[in-house]
A and B are shown apart, each in its own frame.
Chain A
């Protein structure tokens, strides 16, 4: 609360205002201004340099008739569905296992979470090596005698996105587990006692009592996973560079390539605006559910 005695409205709390200049600039210039700028220029035919030569929705028409973009969207949907379902299910199961008052809990947690400290580049390169058909898992299984065994997701365009999802799950599930574990620890011990007294089996207690009680945790986790899905970029660059062919392209990579390599800024802006739109579709209902009605202040 400001309790300054000075009368002038503008100079009240002056130090706080000066200190907040970086935040104000970031909020207005970068976040609001930058976003508006990109959306505006997505309606132009900018090529090498941004130019205000409006062409209506041309860039979007072209975008949605480019096979590379369609592949990117399809990959994002598959990758997103896998990430959501598996990281939630695995993350919750691991958290539930760790919540059984076990020994070495810290050790297990440390092991499950360490990949999260690694970058997507490191993650992608490790899994590129593990999934290498000539040296990795496929070769090892074949050497064991099963010579027809085939597991080469990174070289098979129809399943390459699953190979990327494996790496993403390895990297990210630990975080989800930690969030879930924090949620489980937040549940009152009495709930468990009551459920036990009533003779409800543990799995039923989880499914019908604990999980519904953890709704806020699940929603937060969902938003975090969803925000991460749209941003997926470095993992693909490191693991497959979008290949084989264009089979593992994703929208974020499309944006980068069109802006900085293909020198087709308009396409890049249109594609990034579509990414923004997809986030809005996810975030707005959530924000409405979470903060709708009551004002935050």
Chain B
């Protein structure tokens, strides 16, 4: 109710602003509308930033200070010990080599998964866009519908398949699982992109005698680098952040970082070291955060492309 009232207050201000003829007109910086607008945005932004701030602040404090103090207060004495401990010596079960193990596992999972899933999906999308064969669209529709099936329905059959092949519990198995479940959204992404490329380009290459792979490698691939970047962003964050597949398809010594982080923080044994926990949490979130802040608008494009169907 309050929101509606304040919105309409802003609306009146806006109407007053817009009552004049066209063209730019001088505006008061401190109009009621602006105070409301920026005030709301800043308050909400602070709310969104608060958890990140608390994470960082907590990870830089010693345990005595945490027990006495306020979680929002900045550290009186900055210490990086929690970070070192979280990275190198925090324990999960019998392993006491910290999150570094999970980090390298996640790297070994994410890199091949991203490459494989994008390779498969881009060729799929290309085949669907330019080389449609009978029945291709049926498989594509099954794929898209399948994206809505809860993973829980399919995890056990996949366990059996991987066990039969003999790669259950290995990183290879997990890479295949990520490629399978990344396929619907990525295939859609690439299919839509390749469909939007001019048909003449493809025809000209055909006339010149280029075949399926030739056109893909020499024309489609170089011309669609932006969509590949979008796909990489989408997959790196998605696979790095995965928990369910990691916990189902790997063993404790190959657990990805998210699973290991959860085991460190939520372990019941020992004294809780909140500063180490928060340092470990930031470390795990760091890779997707860096991807996010570096990629900027492409990240938004990626999720928008993933979300809105063409």
Binding site for B on A (CB under 8 A): 1-3, 12-13, 15-17, 19-20, 22-24, 26-35, 37-39, 50, 93-94, 97-98, 100, 102, 106, 108-122, 125-130, 135-137, 139-140, 143, 170, 174-175, 178-179, 182, 196, 199, 201-203, 217, 220-221, 224, 227, 230-231, 233-234, 237-238, 241, 251-252, 255-256, 259-260, 265, 268-269, 271-273, 275-276, 279, 283, 296-297
CA distance A257 to B18 in the complex (A): 59
CA distance A120 to B242 in the complex (A): 9
Residue of A nearest to B51 (CB): A126
A49 CB to nearest chain B CB (Å): 10
7 intermolecular pairs with C-beta atoms under 8 Å apart: A30-B158, A30-B161, A108-B45, A119-B284, A129-B58, A143-B70, A238-B266
Q: Which residues of B contact A126 (CB under 8 A)?
A: 51-52, 54-55, 278, 281
B183 is contacted by which of A17, A23, A35, A175 (Cβ under 8 Å)? A23
Task: Flag if A203 contacts B137 (CB, 8 Å).
Answer: no
- CB-contacts of B125-181 with A (<8 A): 126-128, 130-133, 136-137, 139-143, 145-146, 148-158, 160-161, 179-180
Q: Which residues of B contact A22 (CB under 8 A)?
A: 120, 124, 179, 183
Known: A31-B142, A201-B8, A203-B7. 8 other contacts (CB 8 A): A16-B131, A16-B132, A22-B124, A37-B157, A117-B291, A220-B308, A233-B244, A234-B243
Task: Flag if A13 contacts B66 (CB, 8 Å).
Answer: no
Task: Flag if B243 contacts A120 (CB, 8 Å).
Answer: yes
Number of A-B residue pairs at CB separation under 8 A: 278
Task: Flag if B289 contacts A272 (CB, 8 Å).
Answer: no
Partner-contacting stretch, out of B84-92, B93-101, B220-228, B298-306: B298-306
> Is B49 at the interface (CB under 8 A from chain A)?
yes
Task: Flag if A26 contacts B143 (CB, 8 Å).
Answer: yes
- CB-contacts of B41-61 with A (<8 A): 41, 44-45, 47-52, 54-55, 58
Known: A19-B124, A126-B54, A231-B150. A140 touches B4 (CB 8 A): no
Task: Flag if B139 contacts A202 (CB, 8 Å).
Answer: no
Q: Which residues of B contact A283 (CB under 8 A)?
A: 145, 148
CA distance A45 to B194 in the complex (A): 48
Q: Which residues of B contact A201 (CB under 8 A)?
A: 8, 11-12, 15
Q: Which residues of A contact B161 (CB under 8 A)?
A: 29-30
**Secondary structure dominating the interface of A:** helix
Task: Flag if B187 contacts A23 (CB, 8 Å).
Answer: yes
Task: Flag if B150 contacts A276 (CB, 8 Å).
Answer: yes
CA distance A117 to B296 in the complex (A): 11
A196 is contacted by which of B15, B52, B308 (Cβ under 8 Å)? B15
Residue of B nearest to A96 (CB): B7
Q: Which residues of B contact A234 (CB under 8 A)?
A: 243-244, 258
B99 CB to nearest chain A CB (Å): 12
Q: Which residues of B contact A37 (CB under 8 A)?
A: 157
A31 is contacted by which of B146, B288, B307 (Cβ under 8 Å)? B146
Q: Which residues of A contact B266 (CB under 8 A)?
A: 238, 241
Task: Flag if A203 contacts B8 (CB, 8 Å).
Answer: yes
Residue of B nearest to A134 (CB): B67
CA distance A27 to B124 in the complex (A): 12
Known: A23-B139, A113-B300, A202-B11. A38 touches B153 (CB 8 A): yes
Task: Flag if A170 contacts B132 (CB, 8 Å).
Answer: no
Task: Flag if B299 contacts A34 (CB, 8 Å).
Answer: no
B235 CB to nearest chain A CB (Å): 13
Task: Flag if A33 contacts B157 (CB, 8 Å).
Answer: yes
Q: Which residues of A contact B47 (CB under 8 A)?
A: 170
Q: Which residues of A contact B103 (CB under 8 A)?
A: none
Task: Flag if B132 contacts A1 (CB, 8 Å).
Answer: yes
Task: Flag if B274 contacts A129 (CB, 8 Å).
Answer: yes
Task: Flag if B54 contacts A118 (CB, 8 Å).
Answer: no
Most buried by B among A27, A38, A122, A233: A122
Residue of B nearest to A176 (CB): B307
Task: Flag if A237 contacts B262 (CB, 8 Å).
Answer: yes
B299 is contacted by which of A15, A117, A118, A275 (Cβ under 8 Å)? A117
A54 CB to nearest chain B CB (Å): 18
B230 CB to nearest chain A CB (Å): 14
Most buried by B among A112, A119, A260, A271: A119
Task: Flag if A16 contacts B212 (CB, 8 Å).
Answer: yes
B277 CB to nearest chain A CB (Å): 7
Most buried by B among A121, A143, A178: A121
Would you list the 4 A-B pairs with minimal beta carbon distance, nearest first? A119-B241, A31-B146, A202-B11, A15-B212
